[in-house]
Amino acid sequence: MAEALPPQLRQIQHHLRTGQEHEKRDPVVAYYCRLYAMQTGMKLDSKTPECRKFLVKLMDQLEKMKKELGDNESISQELVGHAHIENYALKMFLYADNEDRSGRFHKNMIKSFYTASLLLDVLSVFGELSEENFQHRKYAKWKATYIHNCLKNGEMPQSGPIGMEGDSVIDTLQDARAVSMPSQPSQPSPHVLPRDGPGANANFSNIQIPPGAHAPANTPAEVPHCTGEVRLTPEDYTRAQKYCKYAGSALQYEDVGAAVQNLQKALKLLTTGRE
């Protein structure tokens, strides 16, 4: 949007910028970033003339995008849209987390942490965040700020969740990595992700990370076997359906590892009644 952002709506500027960056790369991400910005902007200030004018233009842009993307299931079906955004956010998070734990600190990994946190914000358009996504968002925002400040001041950051308050954050991250990360993560291609050494100044507005280029492969887990009769609740069926949608979204990015992982989660839930 060419319209200048009113200062009262400054809180949504990074979500709008992320939407702009994904205009051509991933229009679904762009759409939901703008939807989040519009919903948040309405709560911030929908009364003053400049804010109302800005938000009306944003609504018009969303309506236009919705018509153009009308055939896309990620727009027409909330469950698929949620899976699309969550998958994208967690792929960025896992890439940045892997770089961080390997001691590789550079602008792209900071950008990846930061964008992941913004996209986890965006998930709130579908309802309340899960505890796992809430903790991932909190950690990603902290890490992006912490590493950015260290490099800006010429200091060497500490890898991993060391030094962050709240054991629940660390526990959640360790649990997530146990099922999401391979034992030997694949390394990003140097021509896709240029690295910057300590002292680089992180600029969140101009680093391009192509989707799928930074996602580590996933190690398939053992397929669970059905033991006896399993009584499933309606919530179990909903969760299994969600994992199948996630798998479909991963295949859009040709991310076989994530697709297999989510299908295995669905299979385990349906065969054992547990996640």
Per-residue pLDDT at 229: 67
Contact 21, 208 (CB under 8 A): yes
Per-residue pLDDT at 90: 95
Mean pLDDT of 237-252: 78
Closest CA to 37 of 62, 12, 59: 12
Per-residue pLDDT at 255: 74
Per-residue pLDDT at 252: 66
What is the residue whose two structure tokens read 């994530």? Answer: 258
- What confidence tier does 33 reach under pLDDT thresholds 50, 70, 90? very high
Closest CA to 35 of 12, 3, 8, 11: 12
170, pLDDT greater than 90: no
- Euclidean distance between the first and the last CA atom of the chain, given in angstroms as a whole number: 43
> Hey, what amino acid is at 89?
A
Per residue in 111-152, pLDDT (tens digit) is 999 999 999 999 999 999 999 999 999 999 999 999 999 999
Closest CA to 213 of 194, 233, 226: 194
Structurally, at CATH architecture level, domain 7-75 sits in: Alpha Horseshoe (1.25)
Cβ partners under 8 Å of residue 237, min gap 6: none
260, pLDDT greater than 60: yes
Paired tokens of 147: 């590493």
99, pLDDT greater than 80: yes
Per-residue pLDDT at 2: 52
Fold: same for 7-75 and 77-204+211-216: yes
Q: Which CATH class is domain 77-204+211-216?
A: mainly alpha
Q: Which residue has the higher pLDDT, 58 or 209?
A: 58
- What confidence tier does 244 reach under pLDDT thresholds 50, 70, 90? confident
Lowest mean pLDDT among 23-32, 137-146, 156-165: 156-165
Q: Count of residues for the chain?
A: 275
Per residue in 37-71, pLDDT (tens digit) is 999 999 999 899 999 999 999 999 999 999 999 89
- What confidence tier does 162 reach under pLDDT thresholds 50, 70, 90? low
What is the residue whose two structure tokens read 């949504």? Answer: 12
Reading phi first (left if > 0) and then psi (alpha if -120 to 50, else beta), residue 254 is in left
CATH of domain 218-275: 1.20.5
Return the domain boundaries, the chain: 7-75, 77-204+211-216, 218-275
Per-residue pLDDT at 179: 39
DSSP 5-60: PPGGGGGGHHHHHHHHHTTTT-HHHHHHHHHHHHHHHHHH-SSSHHHHHHHHHHHH
Contact 31, 75 (CB under 8 A): yes
